[in-house]
A = this chain, B = another copy of it.
Amino acid sequence: MATTNGEVVSNKQVILKNFVNGFLKESDMYLKTDSISLKVEQGSNAVIIKNLYLSCDPYMRNCMTPVDNNPDYFPTYPPGSPIEGFGVGKVVESEYPELKKGDLVWGVTGWEEYTLINNPQTLFKIQHTDVPLSYYTGILGMPGITAWAGFYEICAPKKGEYVYISAASGAVGQLVGQFAKLSGCYVVGSAGTKEKVELLKNKFGFDDAFNYKEEHDLNAALKRCFPEGIDIYFENVGGKMLDAVLVNMRVHGRIAACGMISQYNLEHTQGVHNMINVIYKRIRIEGLLAFDYFPQYAKFLEVVLPFVREGKVVYVEDIAEGLENAPAALIGLFSGQNVGKQVVVVARE
């Protein structure tokens, strides 16, 4: 499968069968082997990339919801086409002046071996390769920017503040917790297995952690972990978790709403009943999507790349091998199968 000019090669793809209602299942996707010409039309400004690492992210579930219910802020995947998501790839052909053959990039690509990118200005050229390339699907990519912007820009942390993170061992949560420790905060995270709870405490340096599946009363769990209340909540879960947090927030607390993974597969979302606390405690809740902060990528990298190089922040990935295993890896996010950032390796170079 060489990548010389104009060659037609086979192209394995993960296709969305149809729009999805309720929980995502493996049968909602299928593998197909198509072919692709590794030739870009002259003057087209397009590039072809060979996909190396694909990122499994919770938001992707929302792109599979029928258009009527889809809130316009994510692309909707057309049934019959490859799923799209963030990934790392190598340019194999380019008519785009800013990128040349052999360049490494990260950005939105297809769940397939090769992808023709018609808007290559959305790709970030990877400048630093002394760190694992797969990190550009995580700590140095979209989840990293999300954690950085949500924590530093939205939550404006102060030393000594109490920080709570749900889905804390995930792609974003593990970073927020470590950023918070570096800011001198007291940090507690929750996750869904004993193994993840151990990871939070022993690998990521959280002050405390609990398994939310073993707590019959989330409110009580939070009161136990935060007798003084919560200053900053990094929201990845939504629903009942948000309700319990609102009761335990402190005056002038801040909530960065980054995701609500517990709600994406529900046809009827859980109601949040404790919103009145937002007034009494003068809480600020602010939603964020990483792409609003993409223009600040250089500023982000200046902060986070040294953290990675100096080992101040560690990053745990859950690696699935091969496109064949990509659907299961994506679905696993919603039942918490992944330990750390879920990545799919399509090819290593």
Instruction: Give the B-binding residues of A (Cβ under 8 A).
Output: 71-74, 238, 242, 251, 257-260, 263, 268-289, 292
Partner of A288, one of B71, B270, B282: B282
B292 near A288 with CB under 8 A, answer no
When the two chains form their complex, are residues A73 and B251 in contact, meaning their CB atoms are under 8 A apart? Answer: yes
Given A279-B288, A280-B287, 9 additional A-B pairs, CB 8 A: A71-B280, A71-B281, A238-B275, A257-B279, A270-B273, A271-B272, A272-B275, A278-B287, A279-B289
Contact partners of A283 in chain B: CB under 8 A: 286-287
Copies of this chain, count? 2
Q: Give complex CA distance A270, B274 in Å.
A: 9
- What are the 9 closest A-B residue pairs judged by CB atoms, nearest first? A271-B271, A279-B287, A278-B287, A73-B280, A285-B285, A284-B286, A272-B272, A71-B280, A282-B287
Which residues of chain B are near A273, meaning CB under 8 Å? 268-272
Decide if B276 touches A238 in the complex (CB within 8 Å).
Answer: yes
Most buried by B among A272, A273, A279: A279
Interface centre among A263, A286, A292 (most CB of B within 10 A): A286
Query: Smallest distance from the beta carbon of A236 to chain B beta carbons, Å?
Result: 10
Query: Which residues from chain B contact A251 at a C-beta distance below 8 Å?
Result: 73
Complex CA distance for A274 and B251, rounded to whole angstroms: 24
Given contacts A269-B274, A272-B272, A272-B275, contact A281 B73 (CB under 8 A): yes
Chain B residue at minimum C-beta to C-beta distance from A73? B280
Q: Which residues of B contact A263 (CB under 8 A)?
A: 276
Contacts of A268 in B (CB 8 A): 273
Distance A257 CA – B275 CA, assembled complex (angstroms): 9
Contact A278 B269 (CB under 8 A): no
Looking at the complex, which one of B72, B258, B269, B282 makes contact with A279 (CB distance below 8 Å)? B258
**How far, in Å, is A98 (CB) from chain B's closest CB?**
28
Chain B residues with Cβ under 8 A from A274's Cβ? 269
- Would you give 28 A-B contacts (Cβ < 8 Å), ordered by A? A71-B276, A71-B277, A72-B280, A73-B251, A73-B281, A242-B275, A258-B279, A260-B276, A263-B276, A268-B273, A269-B273, A269-B275, A271-B271, A271-B273, A272-B275, A278-B286, A278-B287, A279-B287, A280-B287, A280-B289, A281-B287, A282-B287, A282-B288, A282-B292, A284-B284, A284-B286, A284-B287, A285-B285
Q: How far is the CA of A74 from the CA of B279 in the complex (A)?
A: 11
| Contact yes or no, B289 A278, CB < 8 A | no
- Inter-chain CA distance A107–B282, complex, in Å, is 21
- With a CB–CB cut-off of 8 A, which chain B residues contact A238? 275-276
| Residues on B with beta carbons closer than 8 Å to the beta carbon of A259 | 279
Q: Is the CB of B276 within 8 A of A286?
A: no
CB nearest neighbor in B for A74: B280
- A285:B278 contact, CB within 8 angstroms: yes
Measured CA separation A275–B275 after assembly (Å): 10
Separation of A271 and B73 alpha carbons in the complex (Å)? 24
